[in-house]
Amino acid sequence: MNILITGGAGYIGSHTCVALLERGYDVIVADNFVNSDPVVLQRIREITGRDFHSYEIDVTDAEAVERLFQAYKIDGVIHFAGLKAVGESVQKPLEYYRNNLLSTIVLADNCIRYGVGKFVFSSSATVYGDQEVPLAESMPLRGTTNPYGETKAMSERILTDTARAHPKLAVSLLRYFNPVGAHESGLIGESPRGIPNNLMPYITQVAKGKLAKLYVYGDDYPTVDGTGVRDYIHVVDLAEGHVAALERLEEGVHVYNLGTGQGTSVLQLVKTFEQVNGIKIPYEIVGRRPGDVAESYADVSKAWRELGWSAKRGIDEMCRDAWRYEVNHSDE
Ligand code: NAD
Ligand code: UFG
């Protein structure tokens, strides 16, 4: 089976390439490296001992994408490629709508014209907006607070309408909660450019001494200790969720939360990181970050029921593996 992986050099895409290669699939990676480094592809080969084809392609480029569909008999597409920085999307909405929507349209169009039957899409828990937890797939979407989130909700809609009109295309919409951690080899992981926006990479950079201290955005939320609660999921569990989604996808449109179902507060994550890695993380409580919700965690029962998948790795492993990758690769 040939699986086209867009954004395969990125954080989640690279771990999913590993999971698919280890399971015997052939992968074809298309990435323009706007937020990743081609060296990651070598590391995937090193981890798995397998080779695969990779192309430097912008997946909004319809002609370049069509050449791929002509060259290979593609059995499925997993579409990770996208811009993902929430704050930047507010500053550059057109860049986000253009990149994230056009890529989805171009890929779906080629799937229909070349008879590809499976499309797995990287969506986000952000599409739920601010609602009661646990968040379940049956809940109506209430609108998001930023253009990035809107591109995810709109891509879900585009793919749903397309699959309804073309029943030979089956679609799986995967709503990720908060992916963290890294492959246990320490060879691939998350390498944000500049100062990280997300909590775990910020913590690892404080641990490394690259940043002086963590700013905790608010301690007055109605949560266990006042700080924001999220459903952190180990990126290797997330990658395995993609394999399960691909293998069970037969017809129709299916939506799945990929999370652990467990909420962890900012301070609980900091404490676990300190304990597991034996490093103190200095922090300061500051005001809330605009657009943040108090709590976000998943109802994960549907993914278990229908995909036979659930996350296996806990917060300890997430903190240990994130730190191992930072130690190995932070100077690149
Ligand atoms: P990432 O930035 O590490 O990976 C995205 C990859 O896509 C990068 O390698 C980038 O170079 C590539 N890319 C972007 N635009 C492209 C284009 N037009 N053509 C070709 N390649 C392109 O991000 P990630 O964390 O691995 O996220 C993967 C997907 O999952 C994204 O769609 C993201 O929005 C979604 N997602 C991520 C999170 C998260 O917290 N990391 C949460 C929910 C959803
Ligand atoms: N936080 C801090 N200090 C920081 C960074 C984050 O206190 O320096 C807090 C936030 O306020 C929040 C928690 O840590 O309470 C997690 O924040 P992240 O930025 O790591 O994650 P978010 O849940 O805000 O957002 C992430 C992705 C979004 C995605 C969403 C749901 O950035 O793109 O998860 O999947 F939509």
pLDDT-derived band at 142 (thresholds 50, 70, 90) equals confident
Q: How far is the CA of 206 from the centre of ligand 2 (A)?
A: 16
Q: Which of 5, 16, 29, 34 to mutate to test the pocket of ligand 1 (most atoms within 8 A of CB)?
A: 34
Q: Which atom of ligand 1 is nearest to the CA of 126?
A: 43
pLDDT-derived band at 145 (thresholds 50, 70, 90) equals confident
Q: Indicate which residue's Cα is closest to atom 6 of ligand 2.
A: 199
Q: How far is the CA of 126 from the centre of ligand 1 (A)?
A: 15
Number of H helices, E strands in the chain: 11, 14
pLDDT-derived band at 331 (thresholds 50, 70, 90) equals low
pLDDT tens-place string over residues 103-118: 999 999 999 999 999 9
Q: Indicate which residue's Cα is closest to atom 43 of ligand 1.
A: 124
Residue 197 in this model has a pLDDT that exceeds 90: yes
Residues in CB range of 18: below 8 A, 6 or more apart: 44, 47, 48, 183, 188, 239
pLDDT-derived band at 176 (thresholds 50, 70, 90) equals very high
Count the residues in the chain. 332
Which are the catalytic amino acids? 148
Residue 114 one-letter amino acid: Y
3-state helix, strand, coil in the chain (%, to 5): 40, 20, 40
Residues in CB range of 314: below 8 A, 6 or more apart: none
Q: Which of 177, 224, 227, 266 to mutate to test the pocket of ligand 2 (most atoms within 8 A of CB)?
A: 266
Q: Which residue has the tokens 């799945």?
A: 256
